[in-house]
């Protein structure tokens, strides 16, 4: 086996290591920007309506539970 000389090491570095590091940072920044954008995103109309309906259902269920505990049905 022959030893890798400085010129060959530099070529290997440029061919493999530099593109790998650049690709890593491109993916890193893309994910970071996507996460930051998701945090600033405004909910759509569908999401707002769905959340409001769910809140109304929870409120109704709590009100029914309170009503049932305060005045249980007598048979």
Select the highest-mean-pLDDT range: 15-19, 21-25, 35-39, 66-70: 21-25
Q: Please provide the distance, in angstroms rounded to a whole number, between the alpha carbons at the two ends of the chain.
A: 94
Distances (CA, A) of 74 to 21, 62, 66: 74, 21, 16
Q: Is the pTM of this model over 0.85?
A: no
CB 12 within 8 A of CB 4: yes
Q: 73 in helix, strand or coil?
A: coil
Check residue 49 and give its pLDDT. Answer: 95
Check residue 1 and give its pLDDT. Answer: 53
d(CA 58, CA 65): 10
Residue pLDDT, tens place only, 34-74: 999 887 878 889 999 999 999 999 999 999 999 888 766 66
Higher pLDDT, 13 or 26: 26
């Amino acid at each position: 086996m022959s030893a890798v000389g400085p010129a060959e090491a530099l070529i290997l570095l440029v061919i493999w290591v530099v593109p790998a590091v650049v690709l890593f940072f491109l993916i890193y920044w893309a994910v970071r920007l996507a996460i930051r954008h998701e945090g600033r995103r405004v909910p759509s109309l569908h999401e707002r309506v769905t959340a409001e309906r769910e809140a109304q259902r929870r409120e109704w269920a709590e009100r029914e539970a309170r009503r049932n505990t305060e005045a249980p049905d007598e048979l």
